Amino acid sequence: MARLSPTVPKKLLADRRPPVEVMPEGDGRIEILNSALVRYERREDFAREINTLWQRAQATFLTIGRYLNMAKSQLPHGEFNAMIERDLPFSPRTAFQIRAATVAVESGRLPSDRLPQNYTTIYYLSTLPDDALEKAKQSGLLRPDLRRSEVVAFKKKILEAGEAEIEHGEATAQRLAALRRQKAAIEEEISRLERAVAQNMSGGEGPDR
């Protein structure tokens, strides 16, 4: 029986899993990333650079949204959807959300100075009704660090409040209808008693015999 070579660890021979794929030396993507990074040391420098990139990402998706909306209006019928499905790196749902978010910003419905950085968060904001969106503005919900989960919770709260208001309105309407029925019954009873009293009075005032 052949013995294992002392230069080859048993653990390596036992591990038959394929090696983890790594980018080879000289890969262009690695070189671009390394050349783009600046070696900062101070907190404020890191924060400034990250904020700049974050704002650039927002501007990028808004520009993508403008191109999508332009393509939608200018391409022949069917070519826009074909482009989304075959030529672009994101789904039709993502394209729709980016377009809707861009329209909400460009129309002024959402204030550009208080926009969150994520297009999905902006999209969820754009789905709020006008009155709910105004409440969101007044409550300070619109801010750059807003998260999508906060918009979802706010929308749920608004909807629940609306349902409660509708239920309260329905209960009020039902109570009002019941009171009107009672009022009609009371008025009818009053009229009946007034007729009875009138008949009694007219009978008592007849000619003497």
| Pairwise CA distance, residues 199 & 187, whole Å | 18
Helix, strand, coil shares of the chain, percent, nearest 5, are 70, 0, 30
User: Is residue 132, in this structure, part of any structural domain at all?
Assistant: yes
How does residue 18 score in pLDDT terms, banded at 50, 70 and 90? very low
Task: Tell which residue, 35, 93, 36, has the closest CA to residue 68.
Answer: 93
Side chain identity, residue 11: K
Q: What are the structure tokens assigned to 104, written together?
A: 């909400």
CB-based burial of residue 111 (10 Å sphere; 0-12 exposed, 13-18 middle, 19+ buried)?
exposed
User: Is residue 190, in this structure, part of any structural domain at all?
Assistant: no
pLDDT, mean over the chain: 76
Side chain identity, residue 115: L
Mean pLDDT within 149-166: 73
For residue 101, the model assigns a pLDDT of 92
User: Is residue 94, in this structure, part of any structural domain at all?
Assistant: yes
User: Is residue 133, in this structure, part of any structural domain at all?
Assistant: yes
| Pairwise CA distance, residues 112 & 143, whole Å | 10
How does residue 133 score in pLDDT terms, banded at 50, 70 and 90? confident
Mean pLDDT within 8-33: 44
Asked whether the predicted pLDDT for residue 27 surpasses 60, the reply is no
Q: Which residues neighbour 83 within 8 Å (Cβ) at sequence distance 6 or greater?
A: 71, 75
Q: How many residues can be counted in the chain?
A: 209
Q: Give residue 106's domain range.
A: 49-158
Structural domain total, the chain: 1
